[in-house]
């Protein structure tokens, strides 16, 4: 056993996974609105997304790279799960050019991206923020190139060539294509190998076509591995690619004989026939799945369930550019502010469920917290645009109220995130969490959650009965918090009991959240005066 080879191989794979994870994180923090809007615009329809996926993959010559980066963008909230499907379908079409351009690989230019990213990072200026994404983008392809270089000596291994040439069963041929792609982490390697063997007469098109189709099955393995550490939407994208390839192969296997005959009748050299088969197979599969995209997406969502809903960084109501009608602009901004309050209600519900059930991923909650920050920025930008027009005194008062509510919602999201960190810290040491406090936590959080839910459901109006209910909940919360304060202050007096300090911090955070919700309620009441 060559331990040097094993360590080198795993180092390359680890570097690849690290590059993808860091690239996803940098996209989430650095991706500007213009980039998000452009990407979302070109993936708004399934057909545009397919074309984009095909063009990108044709450029980088790696459907694996296209897919894992797409998964990263979905994880960052830049792309929706539905929007990513077109790219996934198109990626398989784009990779078919590999058969004609085996020698062309973007991985050869990876060091250029790394150097450019590094230089931009240290140069400073307005472009510095793009340095790290470019650097990690290059690192992804550099690590792929490293893995490919480590495995390159095995591509022409006599034993491998002999095994592939001796395959005479369509199922074994498909399996062989799957294994080769999985081992080399690239369908380009499998396709290139089969094309070269066909050129040298070592394999016929009828034998090579099933292997090439099987190579598609090996492509999703990397995306599945990468997505395993990401959110639900990213996992769905990876699973969708796997099912797309698997179902496509299963559809063609019963007609593999007639399909091979059709390809032979089209003419061309054996290598060209295999390349044509690869292209036609992927185009037909893409067309089928584009037509059935709705049912297919539903199937994936059922196979990869999750309480955590998808969060894509785009407003629900605001448009760009805003309508010229000022009244309509105010209506859209008001609806988006209501959407902002709804997201806060969802955020606090998820944080409270941590203590009650021990579930929820902190990264997913943080993602929603960042989305609320994003929405606040979009609302402020829209308000700033409207403010440039001639405003009446009434319009100015509307703007003041909407700004106040959005700012309080932004502040509320930060307070909820602070509570999330406190609760997570307490769960790291279960010994400080008593059954008594878990029960007490529920009694305290219920009125807070109900108040924010009532606020989000009734906005922008607030009936007197709703206002009275929220006031009653404030009084109830105050009594319960005071009761628990006295209990945990006594525990804090005992130096050997850490739970008192931890619980005191959680109670303080909940109390601050309640105060902010109350301020939002008071501000919403001003809308009645419009």
How many domains is the chain partitioned into structurally? Answer: 2
Shared domain check, 401 and 508: yes
Measured CA angle at 148 (ends 145, 153), to 5 deg: 140
- When pLDDT is averaged across residues 436-445 and rounded to a whole number, the result is 71
Distance from chain centroid for Cα 48: 19
Query: Could you read off the pLDDT of 86-104 as tens digits, one per residue?
Result: 988 988 888 776 555 433 4
For CA atoms 213, 215, 219, 220, the dihedral sign is: positive
Cβ atoms 91, 61 nearer than 8 A: no
Return d(Cα 356, Cα 352) in angstroms, integer.
Answer: 7
CA distance 314 to 44: 12
Model pLDDT for residues 16-30, shown as the tens digit of each residue? 667 766 765 675 565
Q: Is 445 exposed, middle or buried (CB count within 10 Å of its CB: 0-12, 13-18, 19+)?
A: buried
Token readout for 337 is 């502010």
- The confidence score (pLDDT) of residue 1 equals 47
Q: Are residues 144 and 49 in the same domain?
A: yes
Check whether residue 336 and residue 285 sit in a common domain: no
State yes or no: pLDDT of 184 exceeds 70. no
120 and 263 share one domain: yes
> pLDDT digits over 106-138, tens only?
556 778 888 998 888 888 777 777 788 788 878
**Other CB atoms within 10 Å distance of the CB of residue 103:** 8
pLDDT of 143: 75
Which domain, by its residues, includes 372?
326-529
CA 432/CA 23 separation, integer angstroms? 37
The verdict on 210 and 92 lying in the same domain is yes
Whether residue 193 is found in the same domain as residue 246: yes
Q: What is the DSSP letter of 103?
A: T
Shared domain for 71 and 189, answered yes or no, is yes
Return the SS3 of 228: coil
Tens of pLDDT, residue by residue over 351-410, are 887 655 555 567 778 888 999 999 999 999 999 888 887 778 888 888 899 999 999 999
Rounded Cα–Cα distance for residues 303 and 122 (Å)? 45
* CATH number (domain holding residue 395): 1.20.58.220
pLDDT at 357: 53
Give the tens place of pLDDT for each residue, 457-478.
999 888 889 999 999 999 988 8
CA distance 303 to 207: 34
**What is the DSSP secondary structure assignment for residue 51, as one 8-state letter?**
H
Whether 200 and 148 share a structural domain: yes
């Amino acid at each position: 056993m060559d331990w040097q080879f094993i360590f080198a191989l795993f180092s390359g794979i680890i570097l690849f996974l690290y590059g993808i994870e860091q690239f996803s994180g940098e996209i989430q923090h650095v991706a500007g609105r213009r980039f998000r809007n452009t990407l979302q615009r070109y993936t708004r329809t399934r057909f545009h997304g397919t074309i984009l996926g095909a063009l990108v993959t044709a450029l980088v010559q790696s459907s694996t790279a296209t897919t894992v980066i797409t998964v990263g963008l979905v994880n960052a909230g830049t792309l929706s799960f539905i929007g990513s499907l077109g790219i996934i379908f198109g990626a398989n079409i784009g990779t078919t050019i590999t058969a004609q351009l085996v020698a062309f690989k973007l991985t050869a230019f990876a060091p250029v991206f790394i150097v450019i990213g590094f230089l931009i990072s240290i140069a400073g200026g307005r472009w510095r923020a793009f340095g790290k994404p470019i650097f990690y983008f290059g690192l992804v392809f550099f690590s792929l190139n490293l893995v490919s270089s480590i495995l390159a000596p095995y591509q022409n291994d006599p034993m491998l060539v002999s095994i592939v040439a001796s395959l005479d069963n369509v199922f074994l041929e498909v399996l062989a294509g799957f294994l080769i792609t999985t081992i080399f982490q690239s369908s380009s390697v499998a396709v290139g190998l089969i094309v070269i063997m066909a050129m040298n007469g070592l394999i016929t098109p009828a034998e090579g076509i099933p292997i090439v189709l099987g190579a598609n099955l090996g492509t999703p393995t990397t995306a599945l591995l990468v997505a395993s550490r990401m959110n639900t939407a990213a996992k769905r994208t990876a699973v969708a690619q796997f099912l797309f390839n698997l179902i496509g192969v299963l559809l063609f296997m019963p007609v593999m004989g007639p399909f091979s005959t059709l390809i032979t009748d089209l003419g061309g050299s054996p290598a060209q026939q295999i390349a044509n088969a690869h292209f036609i197979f992927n185009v037909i599969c893409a067309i089928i799945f584009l037509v059935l995209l709705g049912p297919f997406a539903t199937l994936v969502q059922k196979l990869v369930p999750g309480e955590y809903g998808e969060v894509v960084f785009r407003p629900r109501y605001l448009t760009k550019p805003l309508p010229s009608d000022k009244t309509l602009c105010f209506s859209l901004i008001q609806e988006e502010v209501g959407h902002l309050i709804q997201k806060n209600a969802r955020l606090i519900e998820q944080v409270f469920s941590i203590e009650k059930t021990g579930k929820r991923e902190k990264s997913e909650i943080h993602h929603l917290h960042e989305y609320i920050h994003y929405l606040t920025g979009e609302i402020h930008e829209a308000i700033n645009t409207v403010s440039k027009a001639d405003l009446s005194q009434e319009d100015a008062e509307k703007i003041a109220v909407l700004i106040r509510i959005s700012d309080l919602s932004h502040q509320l999201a930060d307070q909820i995130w602070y509570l999330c960190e406190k609760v997570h810290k307490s769960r790291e040491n279960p010994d400080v969490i008593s059954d008594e406090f878990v029960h007490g936590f529920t009694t305290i959080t219920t009125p807070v959650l109900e108040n924010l839910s009532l606020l989000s459901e009734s906005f922008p109006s607030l009936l007197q009965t709703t206002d009275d209910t929220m006031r009653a909940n404030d009084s109830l919360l105050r009594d319960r918090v005071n009761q628990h304060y006295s209990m945990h202050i006594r525990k804090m007096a005992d130096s050997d009991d850490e739970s008192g300090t931890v619980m005191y911090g959680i109670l303080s955070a909940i109390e601050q959240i309640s105060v902010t919700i109350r301020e939002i309620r008071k501000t919403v009441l001003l809308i009645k005066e419009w």
